[in-house]
Structure formats: C-alpha cells, structure tokens
C-alpha cells in the first residue's frame, strides 16, 4: 500500500524520502521512481527520512509496527522539527492513534490518524477512501497532499476517530462477505447460472463493492490477491476490542472473525478476504445426488 501512495506523492511533484524496513523494497521503489524522473531518495531509518520533512506519512502493519517506526532514537517523531505533521495511514487501534497524537503534541508536532480503504488497487489507482481523526488545522494541511491518492477524504473527528471509522468499515466488509458467500453457495446448489444471477441481483438493494469486485473470482475459487485474511483478523481484533471497551456486543463480527480463523488455520491467511466462501462446502447441484 505504501509504495504506490508514495509514488503518487512523487508524481504530484513532492520531494519524497522513503524508508522501508525491508531495504530491497525501498531500493526497487527508488529505481522505479527515478526511471520516471521523480525527485526521490531513500533513507536507512525512519528518523533519517523524517528529519527534514514538512510532512511525514506512515503506512505499516499494526500497533507494534507503528511504534517501531515512530518512537525511539531511530523513530520519526523525535527527528521531526517542531510544526511538522505526522499522517498515519496504518490501521491501528484507536488507543494507539491517541498515543501518537499525545506524543506528537508533546513535541510541538501535529498528527492525523488516517486509515484507508480501497485495497491495493485503490492505492495503485489513487482511489483510496481516507477516514481521518485529528485537528481541523492539521486536516487543512494534509488534505491537499493526500488528494494525490484519494477518492474521498473525510474528517470524522478528534484523534482516534479515523481508526474507529475504519473499524466500522471492516465490520461492514466482514458481514457483507459472510452473506455474499452464503448467497453464492445457494445459487450454485440451485443450479443457477452465476453470471445471470449476478446480473439479476447486482442492480438492486443487494449491490455492494464486494459483490461487484469479488463475485467472479469467488465463483472461480480464485483468492491469490487483494486484502489478506491475516490483516482482516488484525483489524477485526481492534474493532472487537474497541466495541467491548464501549460496552457493546458485536455478535456478527465476532462470528465472522471465527470463520476467518478457520480459513486461516487451513493455511489461507494470505488469501483475499473473499476466501471466506471457501469454508462453505458446495452443496449438491439441483438434480444431482443428495
């Protein structure tokens, strides 16, 4: 996700200094961007990348990953000059977002939690949906820059609000994919033409991004792409923890998380989230043996 986003920043005319914890990935990104004539370079630590920046953008994996690149002697926050803006596109816990905001303020910095939705394709095509938490002033600075890779940018509220909105996003996706999986197995077992079934129902109230973008590959049993189940389970974990902390029950999300755990245990952790359908056996086709 981070590589194409940084590429869009460079293409928009920004001078970009990139850091990746896997040096070979940073080297490959550098070569590709230099071939396009972009003003880019790489750094050996996140502190080095952040030291002279006006804005610092992060996109890693989870709370621990964010801590590793933001804090400590080689972390970005201590290297950033007063007044610099830290924009975190990682999906982390709302509590982690608030910690980053507090630590940034203590250093005279600004911070925004800005998780994204749209997957790898959205990042590559500059069509990400970004949900943000932070101050109005920080949003005003960040929005024109994030426009380079965004389809929509919404300021949801104070620090942590962007992450909470992303949790709601992931809960919606999980529930939709569970229903879609069962619906497709029903259509298959009834002997329906899957293309015609999609055509019939995708124009009505059942329509969703998941249906439009995953129906065909789910029908074919193709899952070697997209947003990995490992990452979805991480995100749902944050969402369920946040819900419990608010005294809420989330039975559907909890159940779908258990379903994902089954696919994960069967070796499907790196498959797209639409692989949820693989845990449902196909029933005998209409007219077949029972």
Residues annotated catalytic, as ranges: 166
Alpha helix positions (H), 190-247 = 194-201, 209-220, 229-245
Sort 183 into a burial class: Cβ within 10 Å, 0-12 / 13-18 / 19+: middle
Sort 135 into a burial class: Cβ within 10 Å, 0-12 / 13-18 / 19+: middle
- In the numeric block, which tokens belong to residue 225? 């792409």
- In the numeric block, which tokens belong to residue 221? 């049993």
3-state DSSP assignment of residue 88? strand
Residue 250 per-residue DSSP state? -
Which phi and psi (to 5°) does residue 220 adopt?
A: -90, -10
The answer to whether 74 touches 246, Cβ cutoff 8 Å, is: no
Interior/surface letters 111-123, b for 16+ CB within 10 angstroms, e for the rest? bbbbbbbbbeebb
The answer to whether 117 touches 131, Cβ cutoff 8 Å, is: yes
Strands (E), 50-138: 55-58, 85-88, 110-113, 116-117, 128-133
Contacts of 246 (CB under 8 A, 6+ apart): none
Other CB atoms within 10 A of residue 286 CB: 10
The answer to whether 208 touches 176, Cβ cutoff 8 Å, is: yes
- In the numeric block, which tokens belong to residue 31? 């070569």
């Amino acid at each position: 996700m981070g590589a194409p986003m940084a590429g869009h920043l460079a293409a928009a005319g920004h001078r970009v200094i990139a850091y990746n914890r896997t040096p070979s990935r940073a080297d490959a990104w550098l070569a590709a961007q230099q071939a396009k004539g972009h003003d880019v370079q790489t750094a050996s630590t996140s502190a080095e990348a952040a030291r002279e920046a006006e804005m610092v953008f992060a996109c890693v994996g989870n709370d621990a990953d964010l801590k590793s690149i933001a804090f400590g002697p080689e972390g970005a926050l201590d290297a950033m000059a007063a007044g610099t803006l830290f924009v975190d596109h990682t999906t982390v816990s709302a509590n982690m977002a608030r910690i980053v905001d507090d630590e940034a303020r203590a250093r005279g910095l600004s911070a925004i939690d800005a998780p994204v939705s749209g997957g790898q394709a959205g990042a590559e095509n500059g069509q990400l949906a970004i949900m943000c938490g932070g101050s109005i002033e920080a949003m005003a600075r960040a929005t024109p820059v994030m426009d380079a890779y965004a389809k929509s940018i919404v300021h949801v509220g104070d620090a942590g609000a962007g992450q909470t909105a992303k949790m709601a996003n992931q809960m919606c996706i999980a529930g939709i994919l569970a229903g879609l999986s069962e619906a497709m197995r029903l259509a298959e077992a009834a002997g329906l033409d899957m293309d015609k079934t999609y055509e019939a129902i995708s124009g009505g109230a059942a329509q969703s991004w998941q249906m439009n973008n995953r129906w065909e590959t789910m029908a074919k049993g193709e899952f070697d792409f997209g947003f990995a189940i490992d990452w979805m389970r991480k995100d749902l974990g944050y969402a369920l923890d946040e819900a419990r902390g608010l005294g809420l029950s989330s039975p559907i999300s909890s159940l779908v998380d258990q379903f994902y755990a089954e696919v994960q245990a069967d070796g499907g952790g790196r498959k797209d989230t639409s692989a949820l359908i693989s845990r449902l056996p196909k029933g005998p086709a209409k007219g077949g043996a029972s």
